[in-house]
Amino acid sequence: MTRLSSLRRRGSSVFNRNYWAPAGGDGKVTRASALWSGPAPRWHRWLWLSLAVVVLDFVTKQAILATFRPGEERVVLPFFSLVLAFNPGMAFSFLADASGWQRWFLSGVAIIASVVIVWLLRKGGSRWYCGALALILGGALGNVWDRLMIGQVVDFLLFHWRGWSYPAFNVADSAITIGAVLLILDSFRHRHGESVASAAVKER
């Protein structure tokens, strides 16, 4: 951003390390709950989501680079503009003023993180969990491409209101943020599932 595992039935719930969904009175998991709470498809299928993020991020950045001058802003809505900004650092321009070493350091961190994410995807999990990891992976690769190719990240989405503005960001940043939110929601779902399962066991 730039400033400008085995399945067990417990009571009326289905619970395991990677799966939890509330069940109806007859003990059946509802279709809506199972859709996102159920076991995820084979791990490599999630890489298509990561690839979609990378492609969308690349295409939008190229479009902005082709039509905007650095620092140029075009107001789209009273609270939203398209801009062309460059960020050699991290989110909120952290390390942006470093001497250049941050390009390789941040690229290395992103590559290592991407390898870890792929490893986590191979281990499997719920759809929420795997979807979140895939989004974060795509976002990380989208930004690392910028750093390796041009030495800095291209940002172009700017939200503002009157004198206030949020740091400009891009599609990759959005994917990482959405993925992080999904991971947090997934962790709350698992905590709720564990508490329900524990209560059902105590009732027995």
What domain range is 179 assigned to? 39-186
CB neighbour class for 191 (10 Å; exposed up to 12, middle 13-18, buried from 19) = exposed
In terms of average pLDDT, the best of 2-6, 61-65, 91-95 is: 61-65
Q: Is residue 34 part of a domain?
A: no
Active-site residue, selected from the candidate residues 57, 146, 173, 186: 173
Q: Is residue 203 part of a domain?
A: no
Q: Is residue 78 part of a domain?
A: yes
Q: Is residue 109 part of a domain?
A: yes
Q: What is the pLDDT of residues 127-151, one digit of tens each?
A: 889 999 999 999 999 999 999 999 8
In the residue annotation, 155 being an active-site residue is answered as yes
Q: Beta strand 80-87 with 164-165: parallel, antiparallel or unpaired? A: unpaired
Does the pLDDT at position 21 exceed 60?
no
Crossing angle for the helix pair 171-203 and 127-150, to the nearest 10 degrees: 160
Number of domains in the chain: 1
- What is the pLDDT at residue 163? 87
Kindly tell me the sign of the dihedral angle through the C-alpha atoms of 187, 192, 193, 195.
Answer: positive
Q: Is residue 17 part of a domain?
A: no
Q: Is residue 4 part of a domain?
A: no
Q: Is residue 46 part of a domain?
A: yes
Q: Is residue 80 part of a domain?
A: yes
> Cα(46)–Cα(30) distance, rounded to whole angstroms?
24
In the residue annotation, 173 being an active-site residue is answered as yes
